[in-house]
């Protein structure tokens, strides 16, 4: 049984970039473990991860899937490449997700998470219908292991995501709430979004960022170190508490420079704990 406390601070880490001992050295006991689309899953890989998690006493809240070919360079590229929306990669990404469900089962991880992509607003759109049915299939497979399938906020407004979840109609379909993504994509105020999605939120990213600059042709905001962006984390912690959220807060930093990324994650641990009290 988990010994994690309400609003326990953890880290979002990637097996291709980070070592589990280095995450433990940040002084955290939990995290979300990202696995890229090009990582080969073998019994040796699973055994190594299990051993290192045990040795370093790190509890994995969810496995986060990224997929080969995804690109977050700008809004049109995100729409064209991310998640289950691109038709050409849909089947392969479904199979990869099902594979990661089995990995999670072997490691005792209770959830699989990913970015869904830009879902069409028209519920009669063939892509909407195909993706809805695909998500139902993933949820049903995850349910066989008692797992949740978790969609990360970002590309869609909160009410649109909630509407999609209700249309999928699977009790194990949940939300990983990323307040910075709401800002980076211009999807809406993250504090208001928590109120809309609170019944579905099972995990939260501690990430910060600024709103898109209308002059920037990328159409995306800029990610910032925790506490330096527009999220307003003191207020956000209170927003989560008011919503009754008692899960973890996993620090995520996506800076391209590896040293900057790690340094910002390290600095974010005491900053976040200071806010939580």
Q: How far apart are CA 132 and CA 98, in angstroms?
A: 16
Are 210 and 218 contacting, i.e. CB atoms less than 8 angstroms apart? no
| Exposure string for 228-249, b = 16+ CB within 10 A, e = fewer | ebbbebeebbebbeebebebbb
Q: What is the pLDDT of residues 155-197, one digit of tens each?
A: 899 999 999 999 999 999 999 999 999 999 999 999 999 999 9
Q: With beta carbons less than 8 A apart as the criterion, state whether 202 and 230 touch.
A: no
Q: Look up residue 174 and give its DSSP letter.
A: E
Look-up of token digits 């391209």 = 256
- Give me the chain's average pLDDT, please: 96
Closest CA to 202 of 166, 178, 237: 178
User: Which is it for the CA torsion 176, 182, 188, 191, positive or negative?
Assistant: positive
| pTM of the model as a whole | 0.96
Mean pLDDT of 130-156: 97
Write down the residue that tokens 């997929």 correspond to: 67
Q: Can you tell me the mean pLDDT for 36-59?
A: 97
Give the pairing type, strands 208-210 and 222-224. Answer: antiparallel
pLDDT, tens digit, for every residue of 243-253?
Answer: 999 999 999 99
Please answer whether residues 41 and 67 qualify as being in contact, where contact means their C-beta atoms are separated by less than 8 angstroms. no
Helical H segments across the chain, by residue range: 20-24, 43-56, 75-81, 87-107, 126-143, 158-168, 179-184, 190-197, 233-242, 258-276
* Residue 60 confidence class, pLDDT cut points 50, 70, 90: very high
Q: What single DSSP character describes residue 230?
A: S
The percentage of the chain sitting over the pLDDT mark of 90, rounded to a whole number, equals 95
């Amino acid at each position: 049984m988990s010994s994690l406390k309400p609003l326990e601070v953890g880290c979002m880490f990637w097996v291709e970039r980070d070592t589990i001992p280095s995450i433990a050295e940040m002084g955290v006991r939990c995290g979300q473990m990202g696995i890229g689309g090009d990582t080969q899953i073998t019994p040796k890989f699973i055994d190594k991860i299990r051993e290192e998690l045990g040795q370093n006493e790190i509890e994995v809240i969810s496995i986060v899937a990224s997929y080969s070919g995804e690109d977050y360079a700008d809004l049109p590229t995100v729409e064209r490449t991310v998640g289950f929306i691109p038709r050409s990669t849909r089947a392969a990404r479904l199979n990869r997700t099902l594979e990661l469900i089995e990995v999670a089962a072997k490691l005792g991880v209770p959830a699989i998470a990913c970015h869904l992509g830009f879902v069409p607003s028209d519920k009669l759109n063939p892509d909407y219908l195909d993706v809805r049915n695909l998500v139902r299939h993933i949820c049903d497979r995850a349910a066989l292991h008692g797992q949740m399938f978790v969609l990360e906020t970002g590309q869609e407004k909160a009410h649109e995501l909630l509407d999609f979840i209700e249309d999928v109609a699977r009790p194990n379909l949940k939300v990983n709430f990323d307040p910075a993504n709401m800002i980076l994509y211009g999807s809406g105020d993250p504090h208001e979004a928590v109120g809309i999605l609170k019944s579905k939120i099972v995990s939260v990213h501690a990430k910060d960022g600024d709103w898109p600059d209308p002059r920037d042709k990328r159409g995306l905001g800029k990610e910032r170190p925790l506490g330096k962006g527009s999220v307003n984390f003191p207020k956000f912690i209170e927003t989560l508490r008011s919503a009754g959220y008692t899960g973890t807060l996993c620090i995520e930093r996506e800076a391209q420079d590896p040293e900057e990324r790690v340094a910002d994650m390290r600095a974010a641990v005491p900053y976040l704990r200071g806010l939580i009290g």
